[in-house]
Amino acid sequence: MSAYLMRPSVGLQHVRQRVLVIAITLAFGVQGIAAQPAPPATSGALRLSRLFGDGIVLQRRKPIAVWGWAPAGAQITIAFQGRTTRATSNRNGSWMAKLPASEAGGPFELTVRAGDAHVDLHNVLVGDVWIASGQSNMEFTVSQGNNAAQEIAAANDSLIRQFKVPDSWSNDPQNDLVGGSWTPADRQHVGDFSAVAYFFARELRKSTKVPIGIVNTTWGGSNIETWIGRGAQHISDSAWTALLRAEEARLEQTRAALRAKLGGLPTKDPGLMNGVAVWADPSLDDSGWSDMPVPSYWEDHGYTGMDGVAWYRVAFDATDAERRDGATLSIAAIDDDDIAWINGAEIGRTVGYNVARAYRIPSNALRAGRNVLAVRVSDGGGGGGINGAVSIAFGSGAPRSLAGVWKFKVGEVSFQLDGQQINKVPSVLYNRMLHPILPSTIMGVIWYQGESNANNLQQAAAYRDQFRTLITSWRREWDSGRDMFPFLWVQLPNFGTPDTVPPTAAAWATQRESMTAALSLPKTGQAIAIDVGDADNIHPRNKQDVGLRLALVARKVAYGEHIVASGPAYRSHSIRGDTIAVTFDTIGSGLASHLTNGRVGGFEIAGADRHFVWAEAEIVGNTVRVWSDRVNNPIAVRYAWANNPDRASLFNREGLPAAPFRTDRW
């Protein structure tokens, strides 16, 4: 597993935002943004939080917070649904009012006045507002996922709306966002929605029948500590100063290392000059180019922190018969954008990281014998390169893998996000992307993050306390702690090469355990995803099942429905000779296995020697009986305890997977 885990994605918004200037200078008091700020809802000296705009969804059945800024001492009047609420701005010019609780409905108008100034908000809905936060698997858009074209074509629900908080950061807590706007879940906009949040909202709409608003505050590759305030993490002023200085030093070290490796930092790509793809020419001598494994990220091979443009070339042979049939080039993922050529002829281009490419190659572009594929990759931040499987299929034949060592040459270097590290600095995303919305009235939070905190066992174990701190501090700080809202999350999916023997250590398994520990907090819930991940892709495309499972958890935890919302969860075990019997909670209408031989996969047991082996397991009523001929006196059992627990097959009859667990604490 790459040490560069989850740095590849800056976030899906970067596809449209890379052309924007990004300042990542960590000097005191300097703030950074990854998107140009949208104008706030304003009328002269009267201004509302940027969260308030046309199309906003307000929370039902709770007093609704509305806030903004005006001249000190200004009398503020808010009119909504025929009722008027008043407030007075303080000496700093800030003001806040609480509108009376309202039932779901709309569209309505909301007007805020201060003297002659007024701000009018149109098409306002009242329903349930959910905060969607985390890293790239929450930021991952509908357009990137399974059946994207069909999902986008079918989207026609203007009562589901999203507000995307732009990627932004600050050293100090800020009172307002840098931009953002509300958009409806229609064909024009839903492709840019968080896929998990959209499918979550779509399922909730079926049961709640009310508008759903999603505030999408996510940044791909971010660590959990960047989403927690300094105070909650007990970071002193001196420690904060030292941290910032260390980050400045790291940035300069990154630049210096690349200068030394490349002999300079090219700023204009010589491979593509005046529209001519010079480096795609099949006759080009690329023997002096570097070697680069494909698939991989270039950061994993000596190009740490590099954003910009790089070229890849590989040669393959084709028979004359294959040439006549034409071919299809398939690339599972590229980070970020690409243009591809065969023998100097362009065959396709794509904007967007983690998007599967399928480029049709006409027969007249191919040659009998040697062919040269060239791919120009542009990366705007975080990981870069051809990071997915590459294959070519001639006619209707089977795909031929092109994985291996390709030729590689850097064309252009930039440092738009300086190695994608800013979103790992403690508190800086909290300060700019969360703190400004803490006054808002919400239904709850859905969270999908942790990959960036599972690079090793120490990180994964530390996540237990960090996750608990995040949940409790958000609840304490949100609206002054008056509402202990539901907090729901997605446990990490399966990822990486499956183990042939039970692993002695597994960071992702430990991280899942750290998340599960937070279930001891009230009004929490988790969706298990160990069966819908992708061994080869850290961004699995099946977000429909993830959204559905989160919605089931929400229906139980947040809405109080008496439903089966999750799969079997470990309750207890007993040892009977050479067998361990495991009992479970939330079995629904009964236990089930996806294996056809009546057995259950994914279990392992160990004796006093602490050496785990794969175990046999079978369902006996509401219990799973586990044993192995290699362990006569078992004392511990584990289930799905791996980065990619591909053997796991235990579900309930409702089709929800069992949660990973272990009985030891070794």
Confidence class of residue 17 from pLDDT cuts 50, 70 and 90?
very low
- Domain presence at residue 252: no
Strand pairing of 623-627 and 616-620? antiparallel
Domain end marker among 382, 417, 452: 417
86 in Cβ contact with 212 (< 8 Å) = no
Strand pairing of 307-318 and 444-448? unpaired
CA distance 375 to 342: 9
pLDDT at 416: 55
Which burial class, exposed, middle or buried, applies to 278 when counting CB atoms under 10 A from its CB (0-12, 13-18, 19+)?
middle
200 in Cβ contact with 547 (< 8 Å) = yes
Looking at the fold, whether 361 and 219 belong to one and the same domain comes out as no
CATH number for 620 = 2.40.10
- Domain presence at residue 257: no
CA distance 254 to 305: 6
Overall domain count for the chain: 3
What residues have CB less than 8 Å from 288, skipping those under 6 apart? none
pTM for the whole structure? 0.85
Decide if pLDDT at 3 tops 70: no
Residue 631 DSSP symbol: B
Cα-Cα end-to-end distance for the chain: 23
Full domain range(s) for residue 587: 569-662
What residues have CB less than 8 Å from 168, skipping those under 6 apart? 31, 32, 33, 34, 35, 177, 178, 429, 432, 433
Percentage of residues of the chain with pLDDT beyond 70 = 92
pLDDT at 2: 31
Looking at the fold, whether 37 and 180 belong to one and the same domain comes out as yes
pLDDT digits (tens, 9 = 90+) for 322-339: 999 999 999 999 988 999
Residue 91 DSSP symbol: T
Question: Nearest 5°: phi and psi at 514?
Answer: -65, -40
Looking at the fold, whether 463 and 375 belong to one and the same domain comes out as no
pLDDT at 449: 98
Map 13-74 to HEC letters: CHHHHCCCCCCCCCCCCCEEECCCCCCCCEECCEEECCCCCCCCEEECCCCEEEEEECCCCC
Looking at the fold, whether 99 and 208 belong to one and the same domain comes out as yes
Neighbouring-strand partners of residue 308: 379, 413
How is residue 271 written in tokens?
Answer: 């491979």
- Domain presence at residue 643: yes
pLDDT digits (tens, 9 = 90+) for 421-459: 789 999 999 999 999 999 999 999 999 999 999 999 999
pLDDT digits (tens, 9 = 90+) for 592-605: 999 988 899 999 99
Domain end marker among 358, 391, 417: 417
CA distance 237 to 343: 58
Looking at the fold, whether 381 and 519 belong to one and the same domain comes out as no
CA distance 313 to 340: 10
CA distance 516 to 100: 37
Looking at the fold, whether 87 and 44 belong to one and the same domain comes out as yes
Find, among 270, 406, 277, 275, the residue nearest to 345 by Cα. 277
CATH number for 411 = 2.60.120.260
How do the residues of the chain divide into helix, strand and coil, expressed in percent and rounded to 5? 25, 35, 45
**Higher confidence at residue 173 or residue 26?**
173
Of the given ranges (77-86, 96-105, 481-490), which has the lowest mean pLDDT? 481-490
Find, among 73, 218, 44, the residue nearest to 137 by Cα. 218
Domain end marker among 396, 417, 438: 417
H or E stretch at 238? helix 237-262
pLDDT at 396: 87
Residue with tokens 């079997």: 568
- Domain presence at residue 361: yes
DSSP 532-558: S--TT-SS-S--HHHHHHHHHHHHHHT
Looking at the fold, whether 229 and 279 belong to one and the same domain comes out as no
Looking at the fold, whether 276 and 160 belong to one and the same domain comes out as no
Which burial class, exposed, middle or buried, applies to 276 when counting CB atoms under 10 A from its CB (0-12, 13-18, 19+)?
exposed
381's torsion region: left (phi>0), alpha (psi -120 to 50) or beta? left
Looking at the fold, whether 573 and 548 belong to one and the same domain comes out as no
Looking at the fold, whether 48 and 172 belong to one and the same domain comes out as yes
- Domain presence at residue 260: no
Question: Nearest 5°: phi and psi at 469?
Answer: -65, -45
Helix ranges, 478-582 (H): 507-517, 544-557
Which burial class, exposed, middle or buried, applies to 288 when counting CB atoms under 10 A from its CB (0-12, 13-18, 19+)?
exposed
Of the given ranges (1-15, 165-179, 223-237), which has the lowest mean pLDDT? 1-15
CA distance 447 to 135: 9
CA distance 66 to 24: 32
Cis status of the peptide bond prior to 157, with omega within 30 of 0: no
pLDDT at 479: 82
- Domain presence at residue 242: no
CATH number for 510 = 3.40.50.1110
pLDDT at 22: 32
Looking at the fold, whether 225 and 89 belong to one and the same domain comes out as yes
- Domain presence at residue 542: yes
pLDDT at 598: 81
CA distance 404 to 548: 38
Looking at the fold, whether 295 and 216 belong to one and the same domain comes out as no
pLDDT at 213: 98
CA distance 65 to 129: 12
Q: Please report, to the nearest 10 degrees, the dihedral formed by the alpha carbons of residues 6, 12, 18, 19 taken in order.
A: 180
pLDDT at 39: 58
**Other C-beta atoms lying within 10 Å of the C-beta of residue 77:** 15
What residues have CB less than 8 Å from 247, skipping those under 6 apart? 26, 421, 422, 425
CA distance 495 to 455: 12
85 in Cβ contact with 100 (< 8 Å) = yes
Q: What integer is the mean pLDDT of 59-78?
A: 97
What residues have CB less than 8 Å from 367, skipping those under 6 apart? 318, 323, 343
- Domain presence at residue 261: no
pLDDT at 354: 72
Find, among 78, 83, 85, the residue nearest to 52 by Cα. 78
